[in-house]
Structure 1
Amino acid sequence: MTIKIFYIRRIFMKDGRKVFFSTLLSVLLIISNIVAIKVTVVAKLPLSCSVFIYPFTYLCTALISELYGNKDARKSILYAIIIQIIVLLAYILVTNVPNQINSIDKANALQKVLTPYGINGNYYPELRPIIATLVAFTIGHIVNVGLYSFAKKNTFKLIAVALSVIIGMIVDTCIYVLISQMGTLAGNELVLQLINRFVVNVVASVIIIILFMIFSIRKKEEVKTTKKQKG
């Protein structure tokens, strides 16, 4: 038990935070793509389940930028994209491997349980939504990191993270919806889709800002403790 606590603490020490948040960024992106096809209704708004996970990728990039700077945050974004592409290629390979004769019935049953679109709907996504996700993720997070780096030099840190997260998520949402839904939805449905996602983004932004504040307070306490120990 003591050993486990030691390793957990070590993960959250400064030297391990970059690895932790970079890994979390990749994991959140992958999970978001897996659950993206599941649609639920919240307050009469139809929403993809990915909107409850994906926004927190912005918290990861904001924290990496805060701890290690703009350059490392950009690297983490690039690594997340590369890992996502590797995962997608692995899914495509696995779903195209022939089944054993005695496992065909089980595979067919599993298809019906997972999704009405079959197992390929979960693990072999359509190309257009995936391209939309990767493009939106890249541009939205680069905007987030760049704007935060600029804004925190010219205003309060809390205002900087609020502006960067909200604007980054708006850019992200617009790009994703336009690429993935343009031509498949009527104009009013497209607008409704954007509004639905904006509502979720606002709520997610508030949560992200609160978590960022908590982390910043914790960071200040660690700095004070370190100075006292050195003094």
Structure 2
Amino acid sequence: MSARFVPLRRGHYDTFAVLFVSFLLLSNIGATKLIELNLFGGTLVFDGGAILFPLTYIIGDVLSEVYGFRAARKAILLGLVMSIMASAVFYIVQIAPPAADYENQAAFEAVLGFVPRIVLASVSGYVVGQLINSWILVKMKERYGEGNLWVRLLGSTIVGEAADTIIFCLVAWSGVMPFSTIFNLMVVGYVYKVAVEFLLLPVTYRVVSWVKNNEPEYAELEERA
């Protein structure tokens, strides 16, 4: 019997799904550190995940805009599974007996020793925010067509990021930090994430346009329309 291999599927969905999940995992690790900046006479507090996490929404927008809600939901749920798996693996490694000459146990626990509450906050905010973001974008496109992409991108992000940020901050920090600090985290994190998506709109436009032009099945759908 000759060797058999499953042919690679056409298109770029797999690439964007991998990037989406990878950015999510990196953001969850970065979120374990709180960053404080003194700017313009005020104090800004945000978690390290805010540096990269907005890119997951941009990639999520590409998945939703080009491939639809079902395809985006598949990547979102895959990200959920991998986030839970990563947390479980880090926890198992954390509680495993360290080698006699391993001197970084405390550092490992401080950075990667996720507590169940943070994991719950992260996955809850992520799933709700991403699904809302994708659903709104797709529904707006179904109703109004291909035009006004910027309205879909910003409209879905404004609602999705709000849900994500509020859920994460309340679940993660309620009873642990003063509400004033939690509110600061909410406002700064939300404004930052929406601002990043707004500033990167030209990049998102180019990526979406490139994918649509280089996705064979999308081009075929346009020809039929």
CA distance in 1, matches of 2:27, 2:214: 33
Contact in 1 for aligned 2:62/2:208 (Cα 8 Å)? no
The 1:209–1:166 alpha-carbon spacing in structure 2 relative to 1, beyond 3 Å, is farther
Report the Cα offset of residue 208 of structure 1: 4.1
Question: Counterpart in 2 of 1:22?
Answer: 17
Q: Which stretch shifts more, 14-23 or 165-174? A: 14-23
Question: Counterpart in 2 of 1:135?
Answer: 124
CA distance in 2, matches of 1:167, 1:25: 19
The 1:222–1:198 alpha-carbon spacing in structure 2 relative to 1, beyond 3 Å, is same
Partner amino acid for 1:37? T
Q: Which has the higher contact order (CA 8 A, sep 6+)?
A: 2
| Among 137, 151, 171, the residue aligned to 1:148 | 137
Aligned pairs for 1:169-188 (under 5 A) are 169-188=161-180
Report the Cα offset of residue 83 of structure 1: 1.1
Q: CA offsets per residue over residues 155-187 of structure 1, 9 Å max, x none? A: 422211110112111111011111111122223
Give 1 or 2: higher helix fraction. Answer: 1
Report the Cα offset of residue 219 of structure 1: 4.1
CA distance in 2, matches of 1:146, 1:86: 26
Question: Counterpart in 1 of 2:48?
Answer: 49
Q: Which stretch shifts more, 172-181 or 117-126? A: 117-126
Gap runs ≥5 in structure 2: 1-7
Contact in 1 for aligned 2:12/2:211 (Cα 8 Å)? no
Matched, 1:212 2:207: no
Query: Paired residues, what number?
Result: 205
Identity of paired residues, percent? 20
Gap runs ≥5 in structure 1: 1-10, 112-116
Partner amino acid for 2:143? N
SS in structure 1 opposite 2:32?
coil
TM-score after normalising by structure 2: 0.81
- Give me the CA root mean square deviation: 2.4
Partner amino acid for 1:134? V
CA distance in 1, matches of 2:140, 2:178: 37
The 1:163–1:95 alpha-carbon spacing in structure 2 relative to 1, beyond 3 Å, is same
CA distance in 2, matches of 1:179, 1:203: 24
Q: CA offsets per residue over residues 21-77 of structure 1, 9 Å max, x none? A: 111111111111212122223433122111011121111211111221110100111
Q: Which runs of 4+ in 1 moved over 3 A?
A: 219-224
Question: Counterpart in 2 of 1:80?
Answer: 79
Contact in 1 for aligned 2:64/2:134 (Cα 8 Å)? yes
CA distance in 2, matches of 1:152, 1:86: 34
Contact in 2 for aligned 1:166/1:201 (Cα 8 Å)? no
Partner amino acid for 1:148? L
CA distance in 2, matches of 1:99, 1:223: 49
